[in-house]
Amino acid sequence: MPPKCHDQPPGPSGGHVHQPHLPPPNPYAHSRPGPGYTVVEVLGEIDMATADALGEQLDALTRDEAPQVVVDLRRVDFFDCSGLRVLCRAERRARERGGGLRLVSDQPRIHRMLRACGLLGRFPPLPELPLPPRGASGAQEPSGT
């Protein structure tokens, strides 16, 4: 399983993690920089007619070395195996380049689908976006409580 995004070491410039060029948004997915990773927010219905739009975003973001991508599925109304195929391809590309891909979902139906397809171990969904990596610009250190 790839490391959690907030467990990643700081980038080579001492805490500034490279942010890739963001692909243009489309009606089903748009990307934005996050603290140490790039967020892809997925919207609406992802099925065989729309999965390529998500794939365009993820392909662009997994081209560079060590991509850290977080796919936010909290605003998805429908997600089928076409979307899973795109996620699997993007996760493999990210891993091959020394990076990782994580999912954010608070939807039980997404969890059930991942479990039914045997992908819950590969994509254990986070309930919310990960914390910034330690040492990242603007990140606060834990208070020690």
pLDDT at 136: 57
Per-residue pLDDT 10s for the chain (145 aa) are 443 433 333 343 344 445 568 999 999 999 999 999 999 999 999 999 999 999 999 999 999 999 999 999 999 999 999 999 999 999 999 999 999 999 999 999 999 999 999 999 999 999 999 988 776 554 333 333 3
pLDDT at 132: 80
- The domain 22-116 is placed in CATH, from the list 3.40.630.30, 3.30.750.24, 3.40.1390.10, 3.40.50.300, at 3.30.750.24
Pairing of strands 100-104, 68-79: parallel
* Cα 135 to Cα 145: distance, rounded to the nearest angstrom: 19
Element (H, E) at 104: strand 100-104
pLDDT at 134: 75
Q: Where are the domains of the chain?
A: 22-116
Structure tokens, 54: 């998500």
Structure tokens, 61: 């973001």
Structure tokens, 1: 């399983």
